[in-house]
Chains A and B, each alone.
Chain A
């Protein structure tokens, strides 16, 4: 097990992420942040807070549950039976620039599902992908727009993200 990000680094990387997102937009009021359950949700809330603080604009934030859009629902899942939870996006996504947030980008399949789920909610002006960790192992042609850290790990290795809100502390480890 190797720690690749510690609390202080995660905090500063998210701050830089917020700065970069604002540099790339000319209208912060059109921004919205959507996190993928469950770790993406926590990161999305933190990012929204940083964006709102810096831009002084109200930035809507929502949570996406992608279970119904997964591509493995009709294959055996062993002990990892997917659990349907609620999607909570209480704003109109039409014409918004959505910053889609997840903790780890690995195969790209979750992001494919998230894109389909988002588009069923309306027609955003653009969707940008922001991830805390980008790792090797892509199975679909999906790449992030914003990456806090890239890491080259072996296929059998697992990148585990812990966050204060859900796990009691901020840390990213490779196991």
Chain B
């Protein structure tokens, strides 16, 4: 029913500006079919992933929590180390993009029978998979895999090296709260030596203009810490008042030999985020934790559940960020 071409006038001209369709983005092209770490990404690439993730947030809030971009694709979770939230977050992210998933763990695979990582991956690839999400105890495992198979590889944690999607979701959460990381001071507190999260956070956050301080007893700092683009503090009390973000890491009892600090109580007293310590921080300080939490060890329950805590927001954002990553690596693969 074509409308008539009568020249009616409107009384009032609509003049509202719609800022986000202004050409704020140059024609940036996402080229990477693997996400191995944040160290190798440019500031522009990190920003691109975060911007993309914004578009995925609403999928989780609507009546049909699914969109079709990875329909017919297979995502394999290849986990050689225990994980609950990262694995379920990746699985849910893949399902929300309509991909099929296959779970592979050390116990259920032939690795326990002596098969190598590459053989396992090549066997999976022979079945026609598209994306491998890998977690491994060895640093560089994801990179090794990416050089030897055709599927896309997403690093979900390699040794003490990187956990890029956790870094991205931490950055995403801060950006959501503050608009930008430029000029923010971020303290990452606790078991830095055994934390790939600390490293991914550091690479990503410093690229986006934040200043990162590692806060830990010397025994929990990595040997190469002086070469990293961070400040170092051995005293949380010195740092707590000055920072905009406090990211509390979990004490990884399963990795500690038992002589990193004299006792858990002593550690909590000097490096735990207590209600009293938080009261000396900035009013709007953002409290983060990658989970799982040891309540009462590195963070008090009242702080973890308090108004400054964004811990559950991090989990929620993790889903959007992982959807964006799966989408982007698949897009890059489609270009070749």
Chain A residues at the B interface, C-beta cutoff of 8 Å = 8-9, 11-17, 19-20, 24, 37-38, 41-42, 45-46, 49-50, 53, 65, 67-69, 73-77, 79, 81-88, 116-117, 119-122, 145-148, 150, 164-166
Contact B62 A121 (CB under 8 A): yes
Contact A13 B25 (CB under 8 A): no
Interface size on B, residues (CB 8 A): 48
Measured between beta carbons, the chain A residues less than 8 angstroms from B16 are: 45, 165
Residues 278-336 (chain B) with a chain A CB within 8 angstroms: 324, 327, 330-331, 334-336
Contact B55 A67 (CB under 8 A): yes
Measured between beta carbons, the chain A residues less than 8 angstroms from B69 are: 67-69, 73
Contact B22 A17 (CB under 8 A): no
Contact B18 A165 (CB under 8 A): yes
B56 within 8 A of A: yes
Contact mask for chain B residues 1-30; partner A; CB cutoff 8 A; 1 contact, 0 none: 111111111111111111011100101011
Contact A116 B68 (CB under 8 A): yes
Bound CA span A11–B263, Å: 75
Contact B10 A50 (CB under 8 A): yes
CB distance from A72 to the nearest CB of B (A): 9
Given A45-B14, A53-B10, does the pair A84, B56 have CB atoms closer than 8 Å?
yes
CB distance from B120 to the nearest CB of A (A): 26
Which residue of B has the minimal Cβ distance to A71? B68
B119 within 8 A of A: no
Given A116-B68, A120-B66, does the pair A84, B30 have CB atoms closer than 8 Å?
no
Bound CA span A67–B331, Å: 12
Bound CA span A15–B15, Å: 15
B67 within 8 A of A: yes
Given A86-B57, A120-B62, A165-B21, does the pair A49, B14 have CB atoms closer than 8 Å?
yes
Measured between beta carbons, the chain A residues less than 8 angstroms from B55 are: 65, 67-68, 84-87
Given A16-B5, A86-B55, does the pair A81, B14 have CB atoms closer than 8 Å?
no
What are 11 pairs between A and B in contact, CB < 8 Å? A15-B9, A20-B3, A42-B18, A49-B14, A53-B10, A53-B11, A53-B12, A69-B68, A120-B62, A120-B67, A148-B3
Contact B52 A84 (CB under 8 A): yes
Bound CA span A145–B1, Å: 6
Bound CA span A49–B64, Å: 30
Measured between beta carbons, the chain B residues less than 8 angstroms from A19 are: 3, 8
B44 within 8 A of A: no
Given A76-B335, A121-B63, does the pair A17, B324 have CB atoms closer than 8 Å?
no
B58 within 8 A of A: yes
Bound CA span A41–B18, Å: 9
10 closest A-B pairs by beta carbon, nearest first, are A84-B55, A12-B7, A38-B21, A120-B64, A68-B67, A15-B8, A20-B3, A49-B14, A16-B3, A46-B14
Given A13-B3, A45-B16, does the pair A77, B335 have CB atoms closer than 8 Å?
yes
Contact of B10 among A11, A75, A145 (CB under 8 A): A11
Contact of A87 among B13, B58, B63, B331 (CB under 8 A): B58
Bound CA span A153–B163, Å: 52
B182 within 8 A of A: no
B54 within 8 A of A: yes
Which residue of A has the minimal Cβ distance to B7? A12
Contact A86 B58 (CB under 8 A): yes
Contact of A166 among B9, B22, B56 (CB under 8 A): B22
6 more A-B contacts (CB under 8 A) besides A42-B18, A53-B12, A120-B64?
A45-B18, A68-B67, A68-B68, A76-B334, A84-B327, A120-B63
Contact A12 B9 (CB under 8 A): yes
Contact A12 B6 (CB under 8 A): yes
